[in-house]
């Protein structure tokens, strides 16, 4: 329910998927595609495919391994993993699970700068290469399906491990950082049961979760000028997630931003928002953005609605350089843990590989940004 649901009437969610139906591939024949190459270079690092694992927090709702499962899957398959601030495991534990894998850290921007600095330094020390700042979730969207149960993970003490393991945040509450894993179940139903039974640790977990929610949900006052603080305090690539308008994409160029993720959060925030694929098309029509991408000044990534290999081809043709896979890996994990996540990733890449060849291409470079040559938009 929590994962599948989107904001409002699910209109944006449906439109995200429908947009992929509307753009169609026009395959070419008799091209020698016996050798195909999915390699993709982002921020100077070569990856075996253009697929990234999207940051999805609160994994503790779903599985015991929580965020360790996608972190391990990413390492095993060489797929970059993006860790959420709403994780049910600490930055350090997730980094350990990802080992010598490649990882980025996704920041929900805390209201206090001392907490921001603490998290950035932990992420740096734990080997996260880039910082992704999610801008579309300064508060959670209106999600009617979660109302009957008044469901919000942080309020149930789930997904707050980055906060409760943070020395600066906890010091403000007069507390030592704790490794919640040893004290509380990650499962929210079990947490509810213990809470109602009056369990002291469960009650404390809910208290801490509520404090962390306040810290992370108070970021609405942030402005473009505040990016300077992040820019000054993070020396790796800085990526903004949740960009949907041409104006915002262009603004990034004046604020030291290295990359954008065109995304509407899988339709979970603004019901009635533009489908993410159309947002990408409009953004890539901006001559400023196109020139910045061509010169390597701005990297463009995409998510919201990627389900298959052909979807990836369409997003790349419309100008994205890589994509984030969201709900599909989450569902694979719910069904079969780390193995399930690996299956979904493997299948997605195999589908991409086959479709690439069948469409008449041998590498992704040949189609990236070339929508006018082999995509058509049809009425449905």
Ligand X SMILES: O=C(O)C(=O)c1ccccc1
Ligand Y SMILES: Cc1cc2nc3c(=O)[nH]c(=O)nc-3n(C[C@H](O)[C@H](O)[C@H](O)COP(=O)(O)O)c2cc1C
Annotated binding site for FMN: 55-57, 84, 106, 108, 134, 241, 303-307, 326-327
- Positions marked catalytic: 265
- Using the rule CB under 6 A, which residue among 10, 84, 293, 321 binds ligand Y? 84
Three state DSSP letters for the chain: CCCCCCCCCCHHHHHHHHHHHHEEECCCCCCCCCCCECCEEECCEEECCCEEECCCCCHHHCCCCCCHHHHHHHHHHCCCEEEECCCCCCHHHHHHHHCCCCEEEEECCCCCHHHHHHHHHHHHHCCCCCEEEECCCCCCCCCHHHCCCCCCHHHHCCCCHHHHCCHHHHHHCCCCCCCHHHCCCCCHHHHHHHHHCCCHHHHHHHHHHHHHHHHHCCHHHCCHHHHHHHHHHCCCCEEEEEECCHHHHHHHCCCCCCEEEECCHHHCCCCCCCCHHHHHHHHHCCHHHHHHHHCCCCEEEECCCCCCHHHHHHHHHCCCCEEEECHHHHHHHHHHHHHHHHHHHHHHHHHHHHHHHHCCCCEHHHCCCCHHHHEEECCC
> If binding is defined by CB under 6 A, does position 13 make contact with ligand X?
no
x-marked contacts with ligand Y along 93-112 as a string, rule CB under 6 A: -------------x------
Q: Which lies closer to ligand X via its Cβ, residue 65 or residue 342?
A: 65
Residue 153 interacts, among ligand X, ligand Y, none and using kind-specific CB cut-offs from 5 to 8 Å, with ligand X
x-marked contacts with ligand Y along 306-325 as a string, rule CB under 6 A: x-------------------
CA gap 239, 261 in Å, rounded: 7
> If binding is defined by CB under 6 A, does position 332 make contact with ligand X?
no
Least separation, in Å, of the C-beta of 131 and ligand Y?
12
Least separation, in Å, of the C-beta of 153 and ligand X?
5
Residues 245-284 within binding reach of ligand Y (CB under 6 A): 263, 265-266
Residues 263-292 within binding reach of ligand X (CB under 6 A): 265, 268
**Binding window for ligand X (CB under 6 A); candidates: 111-119, 151-159, 272-280, 367-375:** 151-159
- Using the rule CB under 6 A, which residue among 8, 57, 60, 369 binds ligand X? 57
x-marked contacts with ligand Y along 48-77 as a string, rule CB under 6 A: ------xxxx--------------------
Q: Which lies closer to ligand X via its Cβ, residue 154 or residue 361?
A: 154
> If binding is defined by CB under 6 A, does position 303 make contact with ligand Y?
yes
Least separation, in Å, of the C-beta of 150 and ligand Y?
17
User: What are the residues binding ligand Y (CB under 6 A)?
Assistant: 2-3, 54-57, 84, 86, 106, 134, 241, 263, 265-266, 303-306, 326-327
User: What are the residues binding ligand X (CB under 6 A)?
Assistant: 57-58, 86, 137, 153-154, 159, 265, 268
């Amino acid at each position: 329910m929590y994962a599948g649901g989107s904001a409002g009437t699910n209109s944006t969610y449906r439109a995200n998927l429908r947009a992929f139906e509307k753009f169609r591939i026009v395959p070419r024949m008799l091209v020698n595609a016996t050798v195909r190459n999915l390699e993709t270079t982002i921020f100077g690092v070569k990856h075996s495919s253009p697929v990234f694992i999207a940051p999805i927090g609160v994994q503790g709702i779903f599985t015991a391994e929580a965020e360790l499962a996608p972190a391990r899957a990413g390492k095993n398959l060489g797929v970059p993993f993006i860790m959420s601030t709403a994780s049910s495991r600490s930055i350090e534990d997730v980094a350990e699970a990802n080992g010598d894998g490649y990882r980025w850290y996704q920041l929900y921007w805390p209201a206090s700068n001392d907490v921001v600095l603490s998290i950035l330094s932990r992420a740096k020390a734990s080997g996260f290469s880039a910082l992704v700042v999610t801008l579309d979730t300064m508060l959670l969207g209106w999600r009617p399906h979660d109302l009957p149960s008044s469901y919000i993970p942080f309020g149930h003490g789930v997904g707050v491990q980055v906060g409760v393991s943070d020395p600066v945040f906890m010091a403000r509450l007069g507390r030592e950082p704790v490794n919640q894993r040893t004290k509380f179940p990650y499962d929210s139903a079990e947490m509810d049961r213990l809470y109602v039974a009056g369990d002291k640790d469960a009650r404390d977990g809910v208290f801490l979760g509520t404090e962390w929610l306040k810290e992370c949900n108070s970021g609405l006052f942030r402005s473009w000028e505040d990016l300077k603080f992040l820019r000054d305090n993070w020396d790796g690539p800085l990526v903004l997630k949740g960009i949907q308008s041409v104006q915002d994409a262009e603004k990034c160029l004046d604020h030291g931003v290295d990359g954008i993720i065109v995304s509407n959060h899988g339709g979970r925030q603004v019901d009635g928002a533009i489908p993410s694929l159309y947002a990408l098309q409009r953004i890539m029509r901006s001559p400023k953005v196109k020139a910045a991408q061509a010169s390597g000044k701005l990297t463009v990534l995409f998510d919201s609605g990627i389900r298959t290999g052909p979807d990836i081809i369409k997003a790349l043709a419309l100008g994205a350089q890589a994509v984030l896979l969201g709900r599909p890996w989450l569902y694979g994990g719910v069904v079969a843990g780390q193995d399930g996540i690996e299956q979904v990733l493997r299948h997605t890449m195999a589908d991409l590989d086959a479709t690439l060849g069948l469409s008449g291409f041998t590498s992704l470079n040949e189609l990236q940004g070339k929508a006018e040559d082999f995509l058509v938009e049809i009425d449905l």
